[in-house]
Structure 1
């Protein structure tokens, strides 16, 4: 951000009170045509922090696209204090092909940040995105879904040892925060290490818009804007209960030990107790049932959607809950007739 409050990028400038919709070139096709990402920059009339919202670093993760589009183009941002950099589709080649990775050599854009100008195609793309639209920001929200065949409850991933990331993660107001450093090459990890605290918001599954999750994610964005004074009419939200899964808490991907067809007995976000039957794996004749039990009491953050597995395929992502949180969740998930979910 310049001293005059303008947001600048290589090739343009957005002054306070202005909005620009641009298609920014980050690469070229085999035919020499530009590969361009859509970017909306809203620079408020009032001073404030600069925040980026990004989605579809994996081209088939669609929920976040709608979150970023609605903030940029449907919210009343007349009184915005600060600047928003909205990037609904980072991985344009993957989005066009409706696949997770860049079609070029099957590379993962979200393992290519901060990028390098004279390197692979993926790292060149990542460099231009990072240098122009990530580094100038103060905070970042990066939206993802589970990979195809699985689904996640809405949760946040953040490096809670980083004070600024901790503040951002708490402000988002999700029930579950998974505490970890972002892996090398991820947008979250590299932005945070570069001094731009960034959190990942995981929600739902690939290849679809899921309205309930999108609305919940938008409420989290409102909460962040309230925390950082970007929109005065909003308020920081308390989700009712919260658990932060740190290194001293059990968490595991439970994997299939046999191949077969899976009958999942719980939805994402469900509480399961130690010994509960999470799912059953059967053969085509249903005469060989393998029961998969919960190894400890916890929350199903992610579960399988595609009901067929090989040995070693993930079935669910289970995280441990503390006793107090468990009691709150039990009350929340118990229907009025008293039957367990």
Structure 2
């Protein structure tokens, strides 16, 4: 018996096929329509339904490329289950190279949204009703913000057995047990029963190849762990370092930052991470680690004010060899 077709928007996708479609969002003042671009890979055989999303923040472009590469390697005739890919959720922010929507709202603080709310709320509601409500698992792809770069990492509810299993399968260098923020996609999706992994890597408005590569192989490993594809033909990654807490080292003076700490570096509390100088090179203040752990994020901005976040250090739960 043939598998049922998959309904989304106003279309149905037959089993063993791929379909591109657009979900209407709004109309610009010019009269042009703005839509949410979606690709559905509806496998010939039964399996889970998974979504991939990126660019909820319009300047976070790494995930867009991750999704493009993942989709290029999928064959719906041998695929099990259904994949709903939304490479650009914040379409208007993406076109402008802006993190936010035109009304300056953060889309990732607007879920689950409302059909009659603000533009952000309407996009969130559309995504929840047409994508999340149909899926069992979601992978939401992000990068660092505000001129920061992030080590490839998965943020998720590691106390949930299946979520932990999928985070381990992803194989990022670090998996962080991250709290849920009200209004976030992860919070709203979890309320509907979906398991969600949030992938962070790289810097906004850049195609960092290392962040893209880690994201592509990680997503492929998760699809394989869900038995939607065959196992990935790559060496198994080292076990992810598990972290239950993290914090930022902040600037204690205003100055020009010379940062020595690198992403993935293991540091001990009190270790020197860099220094703040004036424009003539005089040292104003040294920067030291405020905890022992691994560097999972750093600022790429050399001009900093007192109180600015400089280095993100995650505590290490899993012993490091």
Residue of structure 1 aligned with 2:198, choices 177, 197, 200: 200
User: Mapping of 1:86-101 within 5 angstroms?
Assistant: 86-101=85-100
Q: Is the 8 A contact 2:166 2:222 kept in 1?
A: yes
Q: Is the 8 A contact 2:153 2:199 kept in 1?
A: yes
Tell me the TM-score normalized by structure 2: 0.94
* Pairwise CA RMSD: 1.8
Determine the structure 2 residue equivalent to 1:256. 251
Determine the structure 1 residue equivalent to 2:181. 183
User: Mapping of 1:274-293 within 5 angstroms?
Assistant: 274-293=269-288
Q: Is the 8 A contact 2:70 2:220 kept in 1?
A: no
Q: 1:199 to 1:322 in 2, by over 3 A?
A: closer
User: Mapping of 1:200-219 within 5 angstroms?
Assistant: 200-219=198-217
Q: Is the 8 A contact 1:171 1:237 kept in 2?
A: no
For 1:74 and 1:236, how far apart are their aligned partners in 2?
14
Please give the secondary structure, in 1, of the residue aligned with 2:280: coil
Provide, for residues 43-94 of structure 1, a one-character-per-residue CA deviation record: whole Å limited to 9, x for no partner: 0111111110000000000110001111223444541101110111000100
User: Mapping of 1:110-149 within 5 angstroms?
Assistant: 110-149=108-147
User: Mapping of 1:218-229 within 5 angstroms?
Assistant: 218-229=216-227
For 1:15 and 1:323, how far apart are their aligned partners in 2?
45
Post-superposition shift, 1:137?
0.6
Q: Is the 8 A contact 1:148 1:207 kept in 2?
A: no
Q: 1:91 to 1:136 in 2, by over 3 A?
A: same
Please give the secondary structure, in 2, of the residue aligned with 1:145: strand
Q: 1:302 to 1:183 in 2, by over 3 A?
A: same
Post-superposition shift, 1:99?
0.7
Q: Is the 8 A contact 1:139 1:198 kept in 2?
A: yes
User: Mapping of 1:306-321 within 5 angstroms?
Assistant: 306-321=301-316
Q: Is the 8 A contact 1:222 1:236 kept in 2?
A: no
For 2:238 and 2:166, how far apart are their aligned partners in 1?
18
69-78 vs 198-207, which deviates more? 69-78
Provide, for residues 167-209 of structure 1, a one-character-per-residue CA deviation record: whole Å limited to 9, x for no partner: 3222212221111232111112211221111110000000011
Q: 1:169 to 1:235 in 2, by over 3 A?
A: farther
Q: Could you list the runs of 5+ residues in structure 1 that have no partner in the other structure?
A: 329-341
Q: 1:237 to 1:158 in 2, by over 3 A?
A: farther
Post-superposition shift, 1:239?
2.7
2:13 counterpart of 1:18: no
Determine the structure 2 residue equivalent to 1:70. 69
138-147 vs 67-76, which deviates more? 67-76
For 2:247 and 2:213, how far apart are their aligned partners in 1?
28
Post-superposition shift, 1:295?
2.2
Post-superposition shift, 1:122?
0.6
Say how many residue pairs are matched: 320
Moved over 6 A (4+): none
Post-superposition shift, 1:213?
1.7
Q: 1:160 to 1:100 in 2, by over 3 A?
A: same
Q: Is the 8 A contact 1:304 1:314 kept in 2?
A: yes
Q: 1:22 to 1:186 in 2, by over 3 A?
A: same
Post-superposition shift, 1:31?
3.0
